[in-house]
Structure 1
Amino acid sequence: MANSSRRITAFSEAEKAAVYRALLTRRDIRHFRPDPIPEEVLERLYQAFHAAPSVGLTQPWAIVEIRERATKERVFALHQEARTRERALFQGKAQRVYDRLRLEGLLEAPLHLAVFQRPVARSLGHHTMPETLAYSVVLAVGNLWTAARPEGIGVGWVSILEPEAVARLLGAPPDYRLLAYLCLGYPRAWPDEPLLERAGWRQREPLLRYRERFP
């Protein structure tokens, strides 16, 4: 039985390389082609999403698909309102760089996904850390994002939105919490480096690692 388990769980060198390639070349995509995502590809992404670990196996997520242009335009208008407020937080060079970071991909992407945390029955594991329910939803988003890369699908996570406004627009129940708003589609190009690094917003920093405790 142990040998069988090792055969099942072991990855070949090529498979391991493919996993790391997907992780390390994943990008936040902002510009999309209009080509629709085939349903069989989308189903595989949903399988990856739903396979994510969740605290107490609660699976505390729900997805709303947005395909209609009219709804996308209303979400884009909400984004523009939030962007105007956020822009005022920056001055000088930071504001000029901010102005170059456009999100018209909201109108280009053939599919939007609004990902909600839904209420779940009492379960184990989240009473001392209730935020693990939200973390579980984010892990599912990460699964989908990673699976999208080898499919050639780009994902953009739009956080310049007021969650409550989007939830009202989509008719979400009051106890559903919007945690992620994603644009999906085939990208116009795959950037070699993250967009924010290329734009000069920030550079990747070394990983903070400590042994046993903080110094």
Structure 2
Amino acid sequence: MKFRKKEAKTLRKIIFSRRDVRGNHFTDKTISQKKLFKILDAANHAPSVGYSQPWRFIIIKDNKRKEKIFDCFSKSYEKSKEKFKDRPTYNRLKLEGIKEAPLNIAVLYKKPKKEVLGQTFMKRSGEYSVVCAITNMWLMARSMNIGLGWVSILKPKKVKKVLNISKEYKLVGYLCLGYTDMFLENPELETLGWDKRKKLKKCIL
């Protein structure tokens, strides 16, 4: 299968328009089961080391569990303030959308019980495969005009306890998914002056 220049241009536009959506932009519009499965199916077609497909997903819809996860976030957020006390902007940032997003998704890595092709010396390549799955979700969601935000200010052990996740799984990502009132023209942290996008030539060693 070959793709045309028009299709490559569309993919580039989706990649460049991907945004990390926060709670102040989520709406309460429901995501249909069909659209949710399209996003998850995109994740399920991500590349994985040794074709292991080690990703697993937990869909969280109920407010009680969202509240418990938000409590975990709040405690971690308060502790993290000390690390950024020299940057007052940090206290004004909205860094999650746990309660506002209609859906939360815990993305897990299932630890292998036997040797995985290609993972012998790079043990974490299985987890990297799960990150590839998350990227696929992000891009598919964006192509459908659905917002996705990745909440990283969380202690995995606390989240696993709330969601009753067994030891055979490792939490890789906690995502907030929902329709948004807008997609920002530029990344929010760039707009707020937190940092600037690096020039490509600076990333090539």
TM normalised by structure 1 equals 0.90
Query: Larger Rg: 1 or 2?
Result: 1
Q: Deviations over 1:151-191 (max 9, x none)?
A: 01110000000011001110111121100000000112110
Aligned residue number for residue 178 of structure 2: 185
Aligned residue number for residue 128 of structure 2: 135
Aligned residue number for residue 82 of structure 1: 76
Displacement after TM superposition at 1:104 (Å): 5.4
Amino acid at match of 1:109: A
Amino acid at match of 2:91: D
Cα distance in structure 1, aligned partners of 2:17 and 2:95:
21
Aligned residue number for residue 162 of structure 2: 169
Cα distance in structure 2, aligned partners of 1:150 and 1:133:
26
Cα distance in structure 1, aligned partners of 2:14 and 2:170:
29
Match of 1:194 among 178, 187, 193: 187
Relative to structure 1, is the Cα distance of residues 204 and 112 closer, same or farther in structure 2, using a 3 angstrom cutoff? Answer: same
Aligned residue pair count: 200
Q: Following superposition of structure 1 onto structure 2, how do residues 55-134 of structure 1 map, counting pairs within 5 Å?
A: 55-92=49-86, 94=87, 96-103=88-95, 105-120=97-112, 121-134=114-127
Cα distance in structure 2, aligned partners of 1:191 and 1:100:
18
Q: Deviations over 1:17-40 (max 9, x none)?
A: 111111000000002001111111
Structure 1 residue runs of 4 or more that deviate by more than 6 Å after TM superposition = none
Cα distance in structure 2, aligned partners of 1:90 and 1:29:
22
Cα distance in structure 2, aligned partners of 1:104 and 1:125:
35
Cα distance in structure 2, aligned partners of 1:89 and 1:103:
15
Displacement after TM superposition at 1:12 (Å): 1.7
Contact 2:96 2:150 in 1 (8 A): no
Aligned residue number for residue 39 of structure 1: 33
Q: Deviations over 1:120-164 (max 9, x none)?
A: 232210011011001000000001101111101110000000011
SS at the partner of 2:111? coil
Aligned residue number for residue 4 of structure 1: none
Cα distance in structure 2, aligned partners of 1:119 and 1:146:
26
TM normalised by structure 2 equals 0.94
In structure 2, runs of 5+ residues without a counterpart are: none
Contact 2:106 2:171 in 1 (8 A): yes
